């Protein structure tokens, strides 16, 4: 029987709602052959997931998700098979977390100045140890009656063009891919249809990412229709990229996405992608 994997998972170390150990337990219950923990800007959840995976007989692949800038857009690069102790990677992650922290403080101060019931201290207390981002702020606003849910909070307050939109400074594609590769990982272009590029711009972005050192593309993803998946597979083929894939599971923070099977239960990431990804590491 073919077994499936999920190589894009967030935990409580960033903006997921399931702990790393719980994620490994869910993967075991779902019969997944492997999962990758890919939190935003941190590898803090990896050791706990590795230990739980070993206990439960689930393969856990150390990973991370970095935000990078490409022509003014926020594009995401997933790193798989990274050494979580890699020094170059740690530097890049720390830089990114610091820029995030500056943005969070400005954003929350602006909300406080307008009388909204929120503070950095309260957010930190609600999510101990997590790398905080807009999803936590959105969740807080929803829990305090200022929005119907997280998505509504983004629409009202946080999206581009809304009163509290504040960009954070991001590293370039080159640095993101180099940081991942310096830790022995393979750099994966995440969710390629997420960025609003038209087909030509998308290929330009993929070429730039390949030049930067990316060696794989998320062919399988929660939001991919069969047509999108075929398109992504063709792009991977055209640019010599290994296929990767995952759900982008965030627990209850993105309740429509299920681990392993994505939105509507249609996602299947074949375990065979692991071979191609391992081969793409060097």
Q: Which stretches of the chain bind ligand AMP, using CB under 6 A?
A: 133-135, 150-151, 154
Nearest residue to the partner ligand AMP, using Cβ: 133
Rounded Cα–Cα distance for residues 175 and 154 (Å): 29
The secondary element (H helix, E strand) that includes residue 111 is helix 87-113
Whichever of 7 and 58 has its CB closer to ligand AMP, that residue is 7
Name the residues that contact Fe ion, by CB under 5 A: 15, 76, 190
Question: Which helix (DSSP H) or strand (DSSP E) does residue 59 occupy?
Answer: strand 59-70
- Count of other CB atoms within 10 angstroms of residue 156: 17
Residue 171 tokens read as 């590293």
Q: Are the C-beta atoms of residues 17 and 250 closer than 8 Å to each other?
A: yes
Query: Is the Cβ of residue 133 or residue 260 nearer to ligand AMP in the bound state?
Result: 133
Report strand pairing: 242-246 vs 34-37.
unpaired
- The distance of Cα 199 from the centroid of its chain, to the nearest Å, equals 23
Minimum distance between the CB of residue 29 and Zn ion, rounded to whole angstroms? 22
Tell the smallest beta-carbon distance from residue 18 to Fe ion (Å): 13
Cβ count near 89 (within 10 Å)? 24
Pairing state of beta strands 186-189 and 216-221?
A: parallel
Pick 58 or 141: Cβ nearer ligand AMP: 141
The residue from 15, 48, 218, 248 that contacts Zn ion (CB under 5 A) is: 248
Binding-site partner at residue 245 among Zn ion, ligand AMP, Fe ion, none, CB < 5 to 8 Å by type: none
Least distance to ligand AMP, CB of residue 133, Å:
3
Q: Is 40 helix (H, G, I), strand (E, B) or coil?
A: strand
Residue 134 binding result from ligand AMP, Zn ion, Fe ion, none, given CB thresholds of 5 to 8 Å by partner type:
ligand AMP
Task: Confirm or reject binding of residue 39 to Zn ion (CB under 5 A).
Answer: no
Q: Which residues contact 93 (CB under 8 A, 6 or more apart)?
A: 41, 42, 43, 64, 66, 179
Residue with the shortest CB distance to Zn ion: 248
Candidates 16-24, 63-71, 181-189, 225-233: pick the segment binding Zn ion (CB under 5 A).
63-71
Is 15 a residue that touches Zn ion (CB under 5 A)?
Answer: no
> Looking at beta carbons only, is 82 or 131 nearer to ligand AMP?
131
Residue 118 or 170: the one with the smaller Cβ distance to Zn ion is 170
Question: Alpha-carbon distance 89 to 84, whole Å?
Answer: 8
Per partner kind, with CB cut-offs from 5 to 8 A, the member of Fe ion, Zn ion, ligand AMP, none near residue 151 is ligand AMP
Where do contacts with Zn ion occur on this chain (CB under 5 A)?
65, 248
């Amino acid at each position: 029987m073919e077994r499936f994997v999920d190589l894009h998972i967030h935990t409580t170390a960033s903006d997921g709602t399931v702990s790393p150990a719980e994620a490994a337990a869910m993967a075991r219950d779902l019969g997944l052959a492997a999962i990758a923990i890919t939190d935003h800007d941190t590898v803090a959840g990896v050791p706990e997931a590795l230990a739980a995976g070993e206990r439960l007989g689930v393969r856990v692949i150390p990973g991370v998700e970095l935000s990078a800038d490409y022509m003014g857009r926020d594009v995401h690069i997933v790193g798989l098979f990274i050494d979580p102790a890699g020094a170059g990677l740690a530097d890049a992650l720390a830089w990114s977390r610091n820029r995030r922290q500056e943005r969070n403080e400005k954003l929350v101060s602006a909300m406080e100045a307008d009388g909204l019931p929120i503070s950095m201290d309260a957010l930190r207390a609600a999510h101990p140890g997590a790398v905080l981002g807009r999803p936590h702020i959105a969740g807080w606003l929803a829990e305090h009656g200022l929005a119907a849910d997280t998505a509504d909070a983004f629409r009202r307050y946080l999206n581009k063009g809304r009163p509290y939109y504040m960009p954070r400074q991001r590293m370039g594609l080159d640095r993101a891919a180099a940081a991942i590769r310096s830790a022995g990982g393979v750099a994966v272009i995440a969710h390629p249809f997420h960025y609003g590029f038209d087909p030509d711009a998308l290929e330009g972005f993929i070429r730039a990412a390949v030049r930067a050192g990316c060696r794989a593309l998320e062919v399988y993803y929660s939001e991919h229709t069969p047509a999108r998946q075929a398109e992504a597979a063709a792009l991977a083929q055209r640019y010599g990229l290994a296929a990767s894939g995952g759900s982008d599971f965030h627990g209850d923070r993105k309740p429509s996405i299920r681990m392993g099977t994505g939105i509507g239960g249609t996602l299947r990431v074949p375990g065979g992608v692991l071979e191609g990804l391992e081969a793409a590491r060097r």
